[in-house]
Amino acid sequence: MLSYQHAYHTGNFADVQKHLTLCVVTNHLLRKESAITYVDTHAGRGLYPLATKETQRLQEYREGIWPLWQARQRLTDPLLSHWLTMLERAQPVASELTHYPGSPWWLAYSLREQDQLKLFELHPGEHEHLRTQMLPQQAQRVYGDGLAGMCGLVPVATPRLCVLIDPSYERKEEYQEVADTAIYTLAKARHGIVLIWYPLLPAGHHCTLLARLKESGIRKIWRSELQLHAPSEQGRGMYGSGMLVINPPWGIDERLAAAMAHITPLLGGECGYRAEWLVEE
């Protein structure tokens, strides 16, 4: 069952948290020359024109990237300014927000000659969109299961590894499968950085993922959550977004907290951000 299409949700508050976290991690990785393999297990289309029928149906970007874009001239936080400048570069006309880039674009932007990028996408239509994107030649697009694909890649040939796992969680079992994939990956590549996105839903399915990782023996698991509002009493709908970073580069927590202090007031009065170690060193 593959019914999820990210075009309906692109640029929403969860994308803001996810892609800003990805940006702070890749920025840090670029401080050293040694080569990096990046893996995006659930790539999506790559770049999303906001004017499409799918994106216009819910217009979730209006409660995500849009208010940040509008305020960008007065947002002085260095990480946020850098990220919004990159976003400007993804626009055909720099001053107009007409496109929102997905994770393949954010990762491709950081690629140097010595780096590799593997992009997995299982939905045939989404993969076809991804196939037509202009990406650097180090970006390899694979039509297939990203979790199995990830396990098949480790250990990688480069000294460093950075993985984004960003499923649509259409099946409850995916929380467990994601945890198992991260555990397997880190058993083969102990210092790899693994980023995992998860939704905050009233049913609390993400607790399975957190519990499985916690009991795995893996150290240095950092988590952050951006909560848009309180969970609904009807028990439906995503009320927040979570990111795990396993083996986080030093200092990313402070840089993200500073950026989020500018972001949360723009996302509404109820919006809050918190971060902590799920498992310390």
Catalytic residues: 166
Q: For residue 42, which of 205, 191, 208, 163 has the smallest C-alpha distance? A: 163
Q: At what angle do helices 78-89 and 13-29 cross, to 10 degrees?
A: 100
Only segment of 111-119, 162-170, 179-187, 261-269 that touches ligand SAM (CB under 6 A)? 162-170
- Closer residue to ligand SAM in complex, CB, 115/174: 174
Q: How far is the CB of 119 from ligand SAM (least distance, A)?
A: 9
Question: Within a 10 A sphere around the Cβ of 280, how many other Cβ atoms?
Answer: 9
Single residue of 145, 180, 225, 253 touching ligand SAM by CB under 6 A: 145
- Closer residue to ligand SAM in complex, CB, 63/121: 121
**Alpha-carbon 92 to chain mean position:** 23
Please report whether residue 115 would count as binding ligand SAM according to CB under 6 A: no
- On whether 99 is known to bind a ligand per the annotation, the reply is no
- Return d(Cα 70, Cα 249) in angstroms, integer: 30
Query: Which of positions 32-71 make contact with ligand SAM (CB under 6 A)?
Result: 41-44
Measured from each CB, the residue nearest to ligand SAM is: 102
- On whether 121 is known to bind a ligand per the annotation, the reply is yes
Please report whether residue 11 would count as binding ligand SAM according to CB under 6 A: no
Query: Which of positions 69-108 make contact with ligand SAM (CB under 6 A)?
Result: 102-103
- Closer residue to ligand SAM in complex, CB, 119/246: 119
Which residue in this structure is represented by tokens 């999506």? 44
**Alpha-carbon 203 to chain mean position:** 22
Residue type, 103: S
Q: How far is the CB of 26 from ligand SAM (least distance, A)?
A: 13
Which residue in this structure is represented by tokens 């927000």? 97
What lies within 8 Å, CB to CB, of 147 at 6+ separation is: 41, 165, 177, 178, 181
Single residue of 75, 126, 200, 213 touching ligand SAM by CB under 6 A: 126
User: Cis omega (within 30 of 0) on the bond before 155?
Assistant: yes
Please report whether residue 203 would count as binding ligand SAM according to CB under 6 A: no
Q: Does residue 232 sit in helix, strand or coil? A: coil
Size of the site for ligand SAM (CB under 6 A): 21
- On whether 240 is known to bind a ligand per the annotation, the reply is no
What are residue 58's phi and psi, to 5 degrees? -105, -20
210: enclosing H helix or E strand = helix 206-214
- Closer residue to ligand SAM in complex, CB, 20/281: 20
- Closer residue to ligand SAM in complex, CB, 74/168: 168
CB contact at 8 A, 273 and 262: no
Binding residues for S-adenosyl-L-methionine, by number, are 19, 42, 103, 121, 145-146, 166
Q: Summarize as ranges the residues that interact with ligand SAM (CB under 6 A).
A: 2, 4, 6, 18, 41-44, 102-103, 120-123, 126, 145-147, 166-168
